[in-house]
Structure 1
Amino acid sequence: GPAMAEAGAAGPAMAEAGAAGPAMAEAGAAGPVVAEAVPPPPPLPGLQLVRQGAEACVYRGLFLGRAAVAKLRIPKRYRHPALEERLSRRRTAQEARSLLRCRRAGISAPVVYFVDYVTNSIYLEDIVDSITVQDHINSLQQSGNDTSSLLILAEKMGELLARMHDEDLIHGDLTTSNILLRPPTEKLDLVLIDFGLSFISGLPEDKGVDLYVLEKAFLSTHPDTEAMFKTLLKTYAATSKKSGPVIKRLDEVRLRGRKRSMVG
C-alpha cells in the first residue's frame, strides 16, 4: 500500500545509534532511566502477547480474519521523543521493505498485511504450526536419531542466505531462532523472519558480518555443529553470484573477533 513508499532510504542501522547520545544525559537529577518492564497494550484488541524482546513486543491473533502476528516497536525512553519517533518510523518502514524485497525475489518470508506508522507496528502473516530451526536442531540432537538430515537443512539455509545477500539485503540478526520451518518439517521449507535490524547494502563487509553473527550464534547455541555450518557456507559460496569477496571478508572478521577475544 502507499504506506510502504513513505519512508525513503533507511540506510544501515549504524546511522541510528550515534544521534541518540548517552542515556544518562536525559535522566538528570532523577538518576538513570529504568527500562519499562510492563509491555505496552496490544495494538489491536484481542491480540495475545507472545514475546517481549528488547526491540519489539510480538502479539498473535487475527487481523481481518487472517491468522496474524503483530510486531509493536518498544519506544526507547532515554531518547528524545521526536528522535525516537523518527527512528522507530524508519526502522518499521525498513522492516516492511525488507520483507517485501524478499517476497519479490521469491525468498520465503511472511506476507505483510498492514503497516501502522502511528503505533509503529507491523501486521504479518502467522506461519501457523511452524517451529524455529533452533528448536528443530535441538530436538533432533536430543532424540539420538540420525542427524544426517541436518546437513541437508544446512544446505537449504546456505541457499536461502545466498539468495538474500544477492538481493543486497542484510538481515542484521541472523540466528537459528529467526528462521522457521513450515510444517511438515521433513520438507525443510524455510521462512526468514524478524527483519527489525535489516538494511540494504552491497558491501561484502556487511554480508560477511551477517554470516559471522550467524556463525557465532550457531556454534554457541548448538554444540557439535561445526560440520553443519561448514556445509552451510559451502552451499552459500556455490549458490551466491557474489560469494568470493564475502567469504574473504568473513575470514577477516573472524580474525578480528579472535584478536579481540585474545586481547580481552
Structure 2
Amino acid sequence: MDAKKAAYCDDLKLIKQGAEAKVYKAEFLGRNCIVKERFPKKYRLPEIDEKLTKKRLTQEVRALQRCRKAGIATPAIYFTDLVGSVIFMEEIPGCTMKDFITNNSHEKLSDKVVCAVEKIGEILAKMHNADIIHGDLTTSNMILKTSEQNDGPIIYMIDFGLSQSSSLAEDKGVDLYVLERAFLSSHPDSEDLFEKLLQSYKSFSKNCEPVFKKFEEVRMRGRKRTMIG
C-alpha cells in the first residue's frame, strides 16, 4: 500500500494476501479496523483491470450493505476509496468458523457446534432470499462472535469479493455446492453436520425447492468430473 493510502490509518500491518487482494489490520479514526486493498493484475490490460477492479469493489460494498439491511451480520464499512481500490471496515473480534469446528472436532454433533452450523444455514437462506450470492463460501469466511447476552452465536459473513446479485436458483445452488466442497474438505467426516446446515437452510428459505434441485444437479456434475478426472 502506498503512502497516500496508508495516510488514512495508523499502524498498518499486513495479515493476509490472496489472489485478489491484500488484507491489513490498522487503526482508523481511533478504531481498530480491517483494510482490504485490491491490487493491479499485471496479466490484464490496465484499462480492463481498472474497470474490473472497480466493479468488484463496488459489488463487495453493495453486498455488505444489502446483507446488513437483510439482518445479516457483516462488518460495518468505515470508508471506501474507489480510486485506490481500498475498503476500510470494522474488525470483528472472534474466531473463524473453520477454527471453531476444527477445535471442536472431537464433538462434532455437540449442541454448540450444531447450533452454530444451523445458524450458518439460516444466514445463507436469508442471503439467498435477498438474492445475494456470496461466490466464495467457506468456513474461513465466517467469523463467530460469542454473544454477551447468551442468546446464541453471532456469525459475521466476510469477504464478498466475488459476490453478485442474482435471483437464479442455479447461482444459489452453486453457492451451496461451493460451501459443501469447502466444508467437507476443511472438516472431514462431517457429512451429518453439513446435512444439518442444509436442513436449517430449508427451514428459513422462501423457495428452497428449485435451489436444492439445482444444488443436486451441480453435485452430479461435480461427481462426474471427479470420476472422469
Report TM bin, short chain.
over 0.9
What letter corresponds to residue 62 of structure 1 in structure 2? E
What letter corresponds to residue 220 of structure 2 in structure 1? L
Quick check: 1:141–1:147 contact (8 Å CA) kept in 2?
no
What's the counterpart of residue 33 of structure 1?
none
In the TM superposition, what whole-angstrom CA distance separates every residue of 1:155-198 from its partner, at most 9, and x where no partner exists? 11100100001000000000000010013597311100000000
Instruction: From 96, 110, 113, give the equivalent of 1:147.
Output: 110
CA shift, 1:147, in A, is 3.1
What letter corresponds to residue 14 of structure 2 in structure 1? L
Instruction: From 191, 196, 199, give the equivalent of 1:226.
Output: 191
Quick check: 2:108–2:190 contact (8 Å CA) kept in 1?
no
What's the counterpart of residue 134 of structure 1?
98
Quick check: 1:205–1:250 contact (8 Å CA) kept in 2?
yes
Return the alpha-carbon distance in structure 2 between the equivalents of residues 57 and 236 of structure 1: 32
The equivalences for 1:8-19 within 5 A come to none
In the TM superposition, what whole-angstrom CA distance separates every residue of 1:91-139 from its partner, at most 9, and x where no partner exists? 11110000000111111101111110111010111012x1000000111
Structure 1 spans left out of the alignment, 5+ residues: 1-39
Return the alpha-carbon distance in structure 2 between the equivalents of residues 239 and 111 of structure 1: 25
Return the alpha-carbon distance in structure 1 between the equivalents of residues 146 and 204 of structure 2: 25
- Percent identity (aligned): 49
Instruction: From 83, 86, 103, give the equivalent of 2:68.
Output: 103
What's the counterpart of residue 37 of structure 2?
72
The equivalences for 1:148-163 within 5 A come to 148-163=111-126
Return the alpha-carbon distance in structure 2 between the equivalents of residues 261 and 146 of structure 1: 29
CA shift, 1:148, in A, is 3.6
Distance 1:157 1:145, change over 3 A: closer
Return the alpha-carbon distance in structure 1 between the equivalents of residues 65 and 116 of structure 2: 24
Instruction: From 79, 84, 89, give the equivalent of 2:54.
Output: 89
Instruction: Write 1 or 2 for the structure with the bigger share of strand.
Output: 2
What's the counterpart of residue 119 of structure 1?
84
Asked if 1:168 is matched to 2:131, the reply is yes
Return the alpha-carbon distance in structure 1 between the equivalents of residues 73 and 38 of structure 2: 23
Distance 1:194 1:223, change over 3 A: same
Instruction: From 177, 181, 188, give the equivalent of 2:144.
Output: 181
Total equivalences in the alignment? 223
Quick check: 1:54–1:74 contact (8 Å CA) kept in 2?
no
Structure 2 spans left out of the alignment, 5+ residues: none
Return the alpha-carbon distance in structure 1 between the equivalents of residues 28 and 207 of structure 2: 39
What letter corresponds to residue 240 of structure 1 in structure 2? S
Higher-Rg member (1/2): 1
Asked if 1:200 is matched to 2:165, the reply is yes
CA shift, 1:237, in A, is 0.9
Asked if 1:213 is matched to 2:213, the reply is no
Asked if 1:44 is matched to 2:6, the reply is yes
Q: 1:102 aligns to what SS in structure 2?
A: helix
Return the alpha-carbon distance in structure 1 between the equivalents of residues 201 and 50 of structure 2: 37
What letter corresponds to residue 175 of structure 2 in structure 1? D
After TM superposition, the score normalised by the length of structure 1 is: 0.81
CA shift, 1:74, in A, is 1.9
Return the alpha-carbon distance in structure 2 between the equivalents of residues 259 and 66 of structure 1: 49
CA RMSD in angstroms, aligned pairs only = 1.7
Return the alpha-carbon distance in structure 2 between the equivalents of residues 149 and 172 of structure 1: 27
After TM superposition, the score normalised by the length of structure 2 is: 0.93
Quick check: 2:109–2:193 contact (8 Å CA) kept in 1?
no
